[in-house]
Structure 1
Amino acid sequence: MCSYLLFLSSYSIGELLKVDSKMPDWGNNITAMNESNHTGISFCDIMFYTMVFLSLIIGLVGLAGNAIVLWFLGFDMHRNAYSVYILNLAGADFLFMYFQIVYCLHFILEIFYSVPIGTFMFSFVVSNFAYLCGLSILSAISIERCLSVMWPIWYRCHRPRHTSAVICTLLWFLSLLLSLLDWSVCDYLSYSLGPGWCQTLHYITTAWLIVLFVVLLGFSLALVVTIFCGSRRIPVTRLYVTIACTVLVFLFFGLPYGIYWFLLAWIENFDDFLSCYFLPLTRLLSCFNSCANPIIYFLVGSIRHRRFQRNTLKLLLQRAMQDTPEEE
């Protein structure tokens, strides 16, 4: 049963329906799994459900943290260019965490009850949409910050006022468009259009993911090199630290889920390779990535002169967005 659920979770929506139509009855599978619990649970099942429970716990913490960030940045703080990006990133993380919780609850409830497969499909699609949107916004933050450091005069004089809001709107729309096209073409239109269109959409989404990864890594490295190896001295502000920590955490914890997405699209039968561990592990790491972002904001805001200070969450968040050098 565990291998079937993993197989189910990694395929596109169209492939999910095709596979599900060839499998035995869902209720019979649940009964068989419950009967196998009396004879013993495999190590694969133990690892899988352990990671699911951990993802659920981390998801609840991350949901609360991103909700706090959304409240302060959305209703209780004056927004600047970068706080708009952070607000949208928190929104993408909140959406991702919420449907990751739904995803985990689906597997947990399947132990005891039969849950409609549509719930799982919807949470899977929306999670991928939120992940894609969060990565796009993080790449946009890196690009804009790098431009502001390399060409500060041009950036201050010629940057349109509402650039951040416009870019975030376009990134939300593009991510939603790719997700909806993948869902509709690979699900409802798969029989009329054929599998070629679905595969083409997989390649387009994968290519966009690779572009975002390269842009995020390239501009982040360029920013670090410019700050520490440039000809002119650039003071390191709290905003630099916030962006650097967010990018670094994503590269370590959020990137594996995108790599899984890439390998699934390009390598045939990849789901048979480490299927018991790789998918739940990447989801667990991605949950930790979304959960870590609010913690980074509040930690960076609490550090002052190499000491941690207690203060209100609103003030800590304001300090994390501070783009001026610290006063000695």
Structure 2
Amino acid sequence: MDREVFCYSFLTAVILTCVFGCVGNGRIIWLLGFHIKKNTFSTYILHLAVADLGTVAFLTLSLIVYFFQKPSFFVLYTFFLGTCMASLGFLTVISMERCASVLFPRWYQHHRPKRLSTRLSFLIWALAGMFCGLEVFAYVAYGVWENRIVAVIIVVDFWVLPSLVTICTFVLLVGLCCQYENHPPGNLNTVIILMLLFFLIFGGPWIVMNSLNLFHGPLLVLAFFHLFFSVNSSIKLIFYYLVGRQRKCHTTEPLLIKLQRVFQDEGNATEGRELMRMNLTPEEICSIQTA
């Protein structure tokens, strides 16, 4: 009995973490969607926030329905898997594009196709929606949840994409370390590295659970893995806040300013470093950068 209570306490912690993730990702979507100028990576981050919002929302609904042992749990959990696929897709694209921009900056600057981020975002959502829709149709029409569509999702979502993210994270870390003396990593690189590392740390156990098809394992283990994954989908707002702030600026500056600082262009980042070399007060530097 105590073990069951402990398991449900873990599931309650997952729900509370997901509620925090809904609020945080909703805030990111509002600011990036309506108040910050779009660029390559802010577009990806915006779609990633939408995918993370769907992930924590559907996970919350799935667990609430699971408490009441309703059959619709499988449909909601399928939507959860679909948004997970989208989130992993955006993390993969972000890591690959950032590797290209760091390792081959001139090629990336002059030969990258325009509107590539918009097209890739549409493709990721289309694939995730297609797999999710087919799976829901199979369950509603035939009452079958574990089928070939699930097998395809497991291979793509829990083997191919995490492997690409792992490789790109390693390559990006090596590339940034090699260039550290001449080109210290900016705010955007720092945020992306944190997102990728936390995904591997907190999302990794859940990925392993799904790749090995351990859905029918002990409830405590399942709750523990989902708690870690919910943290991974809910913590990104903290990254933007910590990386985007400046110690010499006022601590109560709006989150919008911190996000603008994270996603500012490389030219603005260079300008910021030049301002630091001038004989200006911290207040003057902050006012210039946030103007």
Q: Say whether the fold is shared (TM-score over 0.5).
A: yes
More deviation in 318-327 or 90-99? 318-327
Counterpart of 1:69 (choices 24, 28, 41) is 28
Over the aligned positions, Cα root-mean-square deviation in angstroms equals 2.3
Three-state SS of the structure 1 residue aligned to 2:212 is helix
| 1:248 aligned residue | 197
> CA 1:105 to 1:199, structure 2 compared with 1: closer, same or farther past 3 Å?
closer
Give the whole-Å Cα distance in 2 for the aligned partners of 1:190 and 1:72. Answer: 41
| 2:74 aligned residue | 121
Three-state SS of the structure 1 residue aligned to 2:12 is helix
> CA 1:231 to 1:261, structure 2 compared with 1: closer, same or farther past 3 Å?
closer
Is the aligned partner of 1:207 residue 2:149? no
Q: Aligned-pair distance for 1:207?
A: 1.9
| 1:312 aligned residue | 254
Is the aligned partner of 1:237 residue 2:196? no
Counterpart of 2:211 (choices 257, 262, 280) is 262
Give the whole-Å Cα distance in 1 for the aligned partners of 2:150 and 2:263. Answer: 36
Q: Aligned-pair distance for 1:139?
A: 0.7
Give the whole-Å Cα distance in 2 for the aligned partners of 1:204 and 1:104. Answer: 24
Structure 1: which 5+ runs fail to align? Answer: 1-41, 265-269
Q: Aligned-pair distance for 1:189?
A: 4.1
Counterpart of 1:140 (choices 93, 99, 118) is 93
| 1:183 aligned residue | 136
| 2:288 aligned residue | none
Note the alpha carbon deviations across 1:159-204, whole angstroms, 9 max, x for none: 122111111110111112122223333552467xxx9xx5433332
Is the contact made by 2:169 and 2:197 (CA closer than 8 Å) also made in structure 1? no
Q: Aligned-pair distance for 1:271?
A: 4.5
Give the whole-Å Cα distance in 2 for the aligned partners of 1:145 and 1:298. Answer: 21
Give the whole-Å Cα distance in 1 for the aligned partners of 2:123 and 2:188. Answer: 24
| 1:281 aligned residue | 224
| 1:18 aligned residue | none
Which amino acid in 1 is paired with 2:130?
A: L
Note the alpha carbon deviations across 1:84-133, whole angstroms, 9 max, x for none: 0000010001111111221232244x2xxxx6422x22321111111111
Note the alpha carbon deviations across 1:6-46, whole angstroms, 9 max, x for none: xxxxxxxxxxxxxxxxxxxxxxxxxxxxxxxxxxxx13311
Give the whole-Å Cα distance in 1 for the aligned partners of 2:148 and 2:53. Answer: 30
Give the whole-Å Cα distance in 2 for the aligned partners of 1:171 and 1:241. Answer: 24
Give the whole-Å Cα distance in 2 for the aligned partners of 1:186 and 1:92. Answer: 23
Counterpart of 1:290 (choices 205, 218, 233) is 233
| 1:216 aligned residue | 165
Is the contact made by 2:43 and 2:117 (CA closer than 8 Å) also made in structure 1? yes
More deviation in 178-187 or 280-289? 178-187
Give the whole-Å Cα distance in 2 for the aligned partners of 1:303 and 1:50. Answer: 38
> CA 1:290 to 1:303, structure 2 compared with 1: closer, same or farther past 3 Å?
farther
Give the whole-Å Cα distance in 2 for the aligned partners of 1:286 and 1:75. Answer: 28
| 2:17 aligned residue | 58
Structure 2: which 5+ runs fail to align? Answer: 277-291
Is the contact made by 1:227 and 1:233 (CA closer than 8 Å) also made in structure 2? no
Give the whole-Å Cα distance in 1 for the aligned partners of 2:209 and 2:254. Answer: 39
> CA 1:257 to 1:187, structure 2 compared with 1: closer, same or farther past 3 Å?
farther
Is the contact made by 1:302 and 1:310 (CA closer than 8 Å) also made in structure 2? no
Is the contact made by 2:75 and 2:139 (CA closer than 8 Å) also made in structure 1? no
> CA 1:258 to 1:72, structure 2 compared with 1: closer, same or farther past 3 Å?
same
